[in-house]
Structure 1
Amino acid sequence: MLRIEKYAAIDIGSNAIRLLIATVIEREGDPPQFKKTSLVRVPIRLGADVFLEGNISEGNILRMLDAMQAFSLLMKNHKVITHRACATSAMREAKNGEEVAKRIFKETGLRIHIIDGKDEAAIIASTDLRDLIDDNKAFLYVDVGGGSTEFTVFANGKSVVSKSFQLGTVRIINDMVRDTIWEEVKKWIKTHTKDFRKINVIGSGGNINSIYKYSGKKIGKPLSYFFLSNYFEMIKDKTYHERIFELQMNPDRADVIIPATKIYLSAMKWSKAKNIFVPKVGLADGIIKSLYNEREAKRMEVK
C-alpha cells in the first residue's frame, strides 16, 4: 500500500520566484521517494529594486501578488497538502519587506517566511545529497543566488560549517558588492578547506544547472575546472544579445551567468577542487524535505 502526497515550496529569491511541487511516495519498509512534479519560475528581479533603492517597487509588488495568486491556484489544483514560502536576500534587506509580506498574506493567504543567511544555508544543507556525499570524501557546497551565496563544507558525511555571504549575481551586475567581499570569501573557503587533502565542489542554483545542460554531460558526471574555465572565457567574449540568441539563454539568465560562473570558478580555485558536481538541489528542495520531516515528526507524536 502506497501513501502518495504532494508538498510545495516557494523560493522568493533576488533574481526569480519559484514554485516547486513535489510528490512524496511512501511504502512501508522503504525510504520515501521525492519526485519533482512541477516547477514554475517567474523572473521577478526583486534584487534590482532592493540593492539599488532599498525597497521593493510597487510594480514588482503587483507582479509578486499575481505570481503568488497563481501559485496558490496551482497548489489547489495539485491538491498540495502543505506548503511553505521562504524569501531570502532581497526581501530580508528591503525596508518594506515585512510590509510586502503582510500585504501578500492579506491578499493571497500565502504566508512568507523571511529567512536569514544562516537559515538559508541550513535548509540547503538539509537536502538529500546522499548520492554524492560519501563518508570518506569532503565537499564544498556552493549555492549561488541573486543576492547572496551560501557555502557549506561537508566531511565524513556531515555538514561541518556553513556561511552566507552578500555575494550574489544581481548584486554584482548592479555594482553593489563591496571590494573586500571577495577577499572575505577567499579567506573563509581557504580556512575551512585547507585540512582536506582532496575536495570537490557541489554547485547549486539556476546558473550552474544551465551550464551543466550546455555541457551535455550525463547526469551524475562532474564538470571539470578546465571545462568551466573555458566556458567562462567563451561567455565573456559574447555580448548579452549573443548569449541570448546563440546560446539560447533566457534574457534574465544571460547577464547573471557571468558573475555566477566567476563565483563557482573562484570557489573551485580557492578550495583546490578539480571537479564540480551538479545534483540540481537547492532551497526549494530543502523546504520540501523540511516539510516532510515535520509531518513525520507529528505522525510519530500521534502514535
Structure 2
Amino acid sequence: MKVRKYAAIDIGSNAIRLLTHNVIEEEGKETLFRKSALVRLPIRLGEDVFKNGGISQRNEERLLSAMKAFKLLMEVHGVEKYMACATSAMREAQNGLEVIHNLYEASGVEIQLIDGKREASIIASTDLKKLIRKEESYLYIDVGGGSTEFTVFTEGKIKISQSFKIGTVRLLNDMVSEELWQELENWLKKNVKGLPNLSIIGSGGNINKLHKMSGRKEGESLSYIWLKAQYHFLTSLTYEERISELGLNPDRADVIIPATQIFVSSAKWIGAKKIHVPKIGLSDGIIKTLYQSDN
C-alpha cells in the first residue's frame, strides 16, 4: 500500500479553502481518495472586486497571510503536490494578475487563474460520474460567490456547460440584473428541453449546509418542495436570528439565502423535483486532476 498526499487551494469570491487528501494506492484495488483536512477562511474578495473593480490592500494582505499559512500546513501534512486555482473575483479584478504575482513572490504559492469552462471541467473530473446514471438527465449547479456554473448531463455525458455571473456575493450587493436572470432561465429551458428523468446535482458550501440542516442522511436527496419551504423560512428570519437560532456562521448566514434562491429558481424552471447533494466541488476536482496528471 502507498499513501500519497495532495492538496487543493480554491480562491473563491466568498471564501478560500485548503483541502488535503490522502490518496491510497493498493495493487489490484481501486485508488481511494480520503479527505484529511479542510481549512476555510472567509476572505470575501467578491465584495472588493464587484463593488470597486479590484482587490484592496487589506484583502491582499489577508490573502498573503493565508497563503503563507497554507504553505506551512501543506509542509506539516507532507503534501507532495498541490494546485491553487482562483476563480470569478480574481478573474475580474483589475489588479488580479498583479496580486497573484505578489502572492507568489512573497509566499512561493503559485496560483492559476481559471475561467468558468475550466472550472466546470475540473469539477466534472470528480466522483460525479459515479452518481450519474445513463438513463437519467442532470443539471449540475455549482454556486459560487461571483458566478454559478451550470452543466447539463445526459446519457452519462456532458451536453453543455455555461458560467453565469450570478453568485451569492453579487446577489447580496444587488449586482444581478433581471435581464441576466432571464438569460439564465432561457438558457436552462432551451438546454434541458425534452431530456428524460431530470434532476439537479448541487455543489458548494451552501447546498451542503442546507442538506445538513435538513437532517437527511448522506446520499439522500433534497426535494424541491422542501428547498422552497426552507427558502421562505430562511428569509423570514433576520441575519442575527440565522446566526443565533440556526447556528450559522456569520459569513454563511447571509449568502445562504441567495444560494437557495439560485437552486429553487433553477429547479422551478426545469421542473426538477430532486436535488442530489454529493458534497463535492472545485477542491475535490483539483485533487483528482492532480492525481490524473501523475498517472
Class of the TM-score when normalised by the shorter of the 2 chains: over 0.9
Q: Say how many residue pairs are matched.
A: 295
Q: State the match for 1:94 in structure 2.
A: 93
Shift of 1:197: 2.6
Shift of 1:21: 0.3
1:294 partner amino acid: S
- Does residue 116 (structure 1) correspond to residue 115 (structure 2)? The answer is yes
Shift of 1:136: 1.2
Q: State the match for 1:176 in structure 2.
A: 175
Shift of 1:98: 0.2
1:65 partner amino acid: L
Q: State the match for 2:282 in structure 1.
A: 283
How is 1:146-295 mapped onto 2 (pairs within 5 angstroms)? 146-295=145-294
Shifted more, 123-132 versus 230-239: the winner is 123-132
CA distance in 2, matches of 1:42, 1:235: 23
Q: State the match for 1:50 in structure 2.
A: 49
Cα displacement string for residues 166-204 of structure 1 (whole angstroms, at most 9, x for unaligned residues): 000001111111221111111111111112132010000
Shifted more, 35-44 versus 189-198: the winner is 189-198
Shift of 1:27: 1.2
CA distance in 2, matches of 1:150, 1:279: 16
Q: Does the CA contact (< 8 Å) of 2:136 and 2:196 recur in 1?
A: no
Shift of 1:155: 1.3
3-state SS, counterpart of residue 128 of structure 2 = coil
Shift of 1:29: 2.0
How is 1:69-148 mapped onto 2 (pairs within 5 angstroms)? 69-148=68-147
CA distance in 2, matches of 1:163, 1:3: 38
Structure 1 gap segments, 5+ residues each: 297-303
Percent sequence identity over aligned pairs: 56
Shift of 1:229: 0.6
Shifted more, 178-187 versus 53-62: the winner is 178-187
Q: State the match for 2:31 in structure 1.
A: 32
1:195 partner amino acid: G
Shift of 1:131: 3.1
CA distance in 1, matches of 2:133, 2:280: 17
Shifted more, 165-174 versus 22-31: the winner is 22-31
3-state SS, counterpart of residue 130 of structure 1 = helix
CA distance in 2, matches of 1:118, 1:169: 19
Shift of 1:130: 3.1
3-state SS, counterpart of residue 131 of structure 2 = coil
CA distance in 1, matches of 2:171, 2:147: 10
3-state SS, counterpart of residue 178 of structure 2 = coil
CA distance in 1, matches of 2:50, 2:262: 19
Q: State the match for 1:301 in structure 2.
A: none
Shift of 1:46: 0.1
Shift of 1:227: 0.4
Shift of 1:271: 1.4
Runs in 1 of length 4+ with deviation above 3 angstroms? none
CA distance in 2, matches of 1:20, 1:126: 16
Shift of 1:267: 1.2
CA distance in 2, matches of 1:182, 1:198: 24
CA distance in 1, matches of 2:42, 2:11: 10
- Does residue 18 (structure 1) correspond to residue 17 (structure 2)? The answer is yes
- Does residue 67 (structure 1) correspond to residue 66 (structure 2)? The answer is yes
CA distance in 1, matches of 2:226, 2:130: 23
CA distance in 2, matches of 1:158, 1:21: 28
- Normalized against structure 2, the TM-score is what? 0.99
